[in-house]
């Protein structure tokens, strides 16, 4: 069984995650984890904090001579901003609409909202990306590949749905793009919209898409609600700060289609086995992977902290006030897409280990290859 927990405040000394259940003998390249951490920090519209942080992972346990031992893997990422937060600060009393401020202060009985925002903050997603990067390494051993791109920022949208080949061909462009968008004209318009929002003391959200390739059929299960993979992927994506909607395959568009237009017809050939010509289901049927690529989309609301704040109520005096202002991003959709890759990798690694689980990578491979061999005879 795979599991992990993380701890760490946004302006504390750092973030720590302990992962249990990674099989032994998996080669881990720290530079791959650092590459994902750097990808998460990029993206047009991020605030000044990203000029301070230079996220790098330290591995404190579970890896020796570059390979996992089978014991818990402990990851640590330092907060370089920590040294600027050593002096006592004024209590934060003006909750920001859209952040965890008011609900968190009421629930945990805090009179200083900073005690809530320190952990509600998406700083925590650096730990999730490091954990996700290890999950990606495990999945890569089986040819599973996860990619993401941004399809909408602040209402500026990609003009078409792209197929897997076009997406793969444009991946280099996406990685270089300041907003992780594959179309140069749309990218420029997105950046203009972020600039306009920032100038007006406002913020934007958007949508990102995640594709997973080479997934074997049969991850997840139809037999109980909490084993359904589409539900678990939606849970993972929805748990990212700011996410308000998740789609699988055609998603909300499915509600307007006839059955005959929507469902992906089944074909068989001796060389390919069972296959589909369409993928409106997004690779999941009955809570299980069906062998087609998994396609997911997540919608992020606009960033809650506004430099031109909305109205709020001071929690000490109960008087109407403008909401508090913290240093903030204007847009974080490109970063959220990298976090999305991480949580999807984690969820799939969990499901993968449930199906093929073993204590060493060799054992997992034997189990996987046995199943793939069985599928070839079906």
Ligand X SMILES: Cc1cc2nc3c(=O)[nH]c(=O)nc-3n(C[C@H](O)[C@H](O)[C@H](O)COP(=O)(O)O)c2cc1C
Ligand Y SMILES: C=C(O[C@@H]1CC(C(=O)O)=C[C@@H](OP(=O)(O)O)[C@H]1O)C(=O)O
Contacting positions for ligand Y (CB under 6 A)? 10, 47, 49, 53, 121-123, 126, 241, 326-329
Q: Choose between 150 and 229: whose C-beta lies nearer to ligand Y.
A: 150
Sign of CA dihedral 76, 81, 84, 88: negative
> Does the footprint of ligand X cover residue 116 (CB under 6 A)?
no
Least gap, CB of 55 to ligand Y (angstroms): 7
Quick check: 343 and 349 in contact, CB under 8 A? no
Handedness of CA 348, 353, 356, 362 (dihedral sign): positive
CB of 119 to ligand X, least distance (A): 9
- At 149, list the tokens: 């791109």
Shorter beta-carbon distance to ligand Y: residue 241 or 337 = 241
216 is in an annotated binding site: no
Q: Measure CA 167 to chain center.
A: 19
What is d(CA 218, CA 174) in angstroms, rounded to the nearest whole number? 30
Select the binding partner of residue 336 from ligand Y, ligand X, none (C-beta < 5 to 8 A, by kind): ligand X
Nearer to ligand Y, 123 or 355 (CB): 123
336 vs 345, which CB is nearer to ligand X? 336
Q: How far is the CB of 80 from ligand Y (least distance, A)?
A: 10
Q: Which does 10 bind (CB under 5 to 8 A by kind): ligand X, ligand Y, none?
A: ligand Y
Residue 96 assigned ligand-binding role: no
- Work out how close the CB of 47 gets to ligand X at its nearest, in angstroms, rounded to a whole number: 6
Determine whether 189 is exposed, middle or buried from the number of CB atoms within 10 Å of its CB (0-12, 13-18, 19+): middle
Q: Is 18 left (phi over 0), alpha (psi -120 to 50) or beta?
A: beta
Q: Does 180 bind ligand X (CB under 6 A)?
A: no
User: Which residue in 254, 224, 247 sits closest to 151, CA to CA?
Assistant: 247
Q: Is 297 annotated as a binding residue?
A: no
- Asked if 291 and 73 count as a contact pair (C-beta separation under 8 A), the reply is no
Whose tokens are 């709020």? That residue is: 312
Q: Which stretch binds ligand X (CB under 6 A): 13-21, 119-127, 153-161, 309-317?
A: 119-127
The response to whether 40 counts as a known ligand-binding position is yes
242 is an interface residue for ligand X by CB under 6 A: yes
Please state at what angle helix 30-41 crosses helix 333-356, rounded to 10 degrees: 140
Q: 27 is written with which tokens?
A: 């080669």
User: Could you give the C-alpha distances from 332 to 208, 229, 239, in angstroms and in order?
Assistant: 11, 26, 15
* Beta carbon nearer to ligand Y, 45 or 70: 45
Does the annotation place 366 within a ligand binding site?
Answer: no
Residue ranges of the annotated binding site for FMN are 119-121, 241-242, 286, 301-305, 327
Residue ranges of the annotated binding site for NADP(+) are 40, 46
Residues that bind ligand X (CB under 6 A): 47, 98-100, 120-122, 125, 240-242, 303-305, 328-329, 332, 335-336, 339
């Amino acid at each position: 069984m795979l599991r992990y927990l993380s701890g760490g405040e946004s302006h504390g000394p750092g973030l720590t995650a302990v992962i249990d259940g990674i099989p032994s003998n998996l080669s881990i390249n720290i530079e791959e984890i650092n590459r994902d951490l750097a990808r998460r920090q990029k993206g047009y519209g991020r605030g000044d904090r990203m000029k301070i942080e230079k996220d790098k992972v330290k591995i404190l346990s579970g890896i020796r001579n570059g390979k996992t031992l089978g014991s818990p893997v402990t990851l640590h990422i330092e907060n370089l901003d920590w040294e600027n937060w050593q002096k006592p600060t004024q209590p934060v009393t003006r909750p920001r609409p859209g952040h965890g401020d008011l609900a968190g202060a009421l629930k945990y009985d805090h009179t200083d909202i900073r005690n809530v925002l320190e952990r509600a903050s998406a700083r925590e997603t650096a730990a999730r990306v490091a954990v996700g990067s290890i999950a990606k390494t495990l999945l890569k051993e089986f040819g599973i590949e996860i990619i993401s791109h941004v399809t909408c920022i602040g209402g500026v949208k990609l003009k078409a749905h792209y197929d897997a080949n076009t997406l793969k061909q444009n991946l280099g462009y996406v990685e270089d793009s300041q907003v992780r968008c594959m179309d140069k004209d749309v990218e420029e318009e997105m950046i203009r919209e972020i600039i306009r929002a920032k100038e007006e003391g406002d913020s934007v959200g958007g949508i990102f898409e995640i594709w997973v390739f080479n997934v074997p059929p049969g991850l997840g299960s139809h037999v109980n609600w909490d084993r359904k993979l589409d539900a678990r992927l939606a849970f993972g994506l929805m748990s990212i700060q700011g996410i308000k909607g998740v789609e699988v395959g055609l998603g909300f568009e499915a509600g307007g289609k006839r059955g005959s237009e929507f469902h992906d017809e089944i074909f068989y050939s001796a060389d390919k086995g069972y296959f589909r010509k369409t993928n409106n289901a997004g690779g999941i049927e009955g809570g299980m992977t069906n062998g087609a690529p998994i396609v997911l989309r997540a919608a992020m609301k606009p960033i809650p902290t506004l430099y031109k704040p909305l109205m709020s109520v001071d929690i000490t005096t109960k008087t109407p006030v403008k909401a508090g202002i913290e240093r903030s991003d204007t847009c974080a959709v490109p970063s959220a897409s990298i976090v999305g890759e991480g949580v999807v990798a984690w969820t799939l690694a969990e499901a993968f280990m449930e199906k093929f689980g073993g204590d060493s990578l060799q054992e997992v491979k034997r189990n996987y290859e046995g199943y793939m061999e069985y599928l070839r005879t079906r």
